[in-house]
Structure 1
Amino acid sequence: MDIDSTLIQILSQQRQLIARLQGQTHAILETTGALLEDDEENKNSGIIHGGSKPGKQPNWPRDFEGSYLRLHQQYFDTNPLGGLPERNVCKGDGRLPKVLRLINCPFSASAYFQKKKDHWRFSVSNPAHNHPSSLNPAAHTANRQLTDSLFEEMKKLGDAGLKPSVILATLKKTHPDKTILATISTIYTARKKSNQELLQGISPIVHLNKTLQNSEFTTMARTDDNGNLTAFFFVILALSNSSPPITISFS
């Protein structure tokens, strides 16, 4: 093989390596951006319906008028349509609710878990409603949730880069025998849950730093006096002449 052919082969291999590493860099930054966005949203958003710390939850059926119970630690109270919107605004949050589901429905029921007896006590204090029964089962959040098997399929489709609308259409197409009432919002919520599971209790920045340390990148981190990560630098040495290094710093 002559020198020209050898040089052409080497240049071709370098181009393939650069393309592959650039693709990995883009994928890592894109994933981190999504995780950071979810993390920031979780900091700024409050829970509109339901309790803040779920306790032991039984598999409640739908009541006779179509209302579901809400969980407050180990206590269920009223229905998702009861009360007024302003009652569910978090303290210090001046944002208006985007969706107003509350219509001050008088229906009231409660269930309390008795630890000593290891069972739930259920009672209905007001059976009245100010709205007709829901004819569409998709109107209830519990019916729109993904099963464990569908959730795992959703994770694989999401990791493959499919958009939530495509994920939902794919799930319905591949399971024609199942009644899937999930919406695009359900997929977005499930993807956020999947991302949080991926983090395993650590922040998105720390997760990114660990991911880069196990890759072809050369990294250098900076921490404060308490050991908290404040900035880190990463670069691919083989590409340092063709692409600039990247530094991420934050307060």
Structure 2
Amino acid sequence: MSAGLQCNGFPAFDAYGACSQHSVQFFDTRMPEKAVISSSELRLKQGSCSSREPLRLAFSGRLDPIKGVEDLVPVIAEARRAGADVTLDIFGDGPSRALIEHQIGAGGLDDAITLHGSVDYLTRLVPFFRQNVDMFLCCHKQADPSCTYMETAGCGVPTIGYNNAALRGLLSLGGFGDVCRMGDIKQLANIVVDLCENRQKVTEMMSVAASVARSHSFEREFAKRVVHLSEASETAAHVASLPRVPVFPTRLDLRNAA
């Protein structure tokens, strides 16, 4: 009976989009168009990625079990055992930080993995991702419509991770990443190894990521939502003018309810 429905991401839209005659899908993001990686920056990063330097992976977000962060270090360890030359920068803080620090030390990975803690989004995180990150390693085990996906793409950074519904849906917008079975550390590490050897595939994904993010910038997504709200308000005004049909034929007297 709603005049309109706004669904954040693919899982919500797939589940509820048909419940309203006026539904719209949007993608939560804090990435303004001016912060999306420029063509010149993208070419520089693609050139660096193609130079056979270590493949630079990164993660940003809450260091919490619900984000699957306990799998980040094992994926890198497995990929390096298979011969991949990779590094990982981790941004964020949370209850799993101590576990990650232990994993890094126990695996002798201090030279490959760096914990940065929480940093400012626009002044620190975005510039770092635009200049120094080739691939986003995402072990999310839930299908939440994380703004991380689109914001990372805006930095010209593709995403690889577990096959949750949110990421799988976003990748249908363009091939700017890859997924594997949920919780399969070895398979995800194999993706890292393959991309480490196939840098052209990585650079192609970078271009697609930037293009998708630019078409779904903060301004564009909010403009779409404002237009939808305006249209929904007109629909609501029309519905309000129609004769009302009571949902319940009688009024319940809760004063006498047990």
TM-score between the two structures when normalised by the length of structure 2 = 0.26
Choose between structure 1 and 2: higher helix proportion.
2
Q: Which has the higher contact order (CA 8 A, sep 6+)?
A: 2
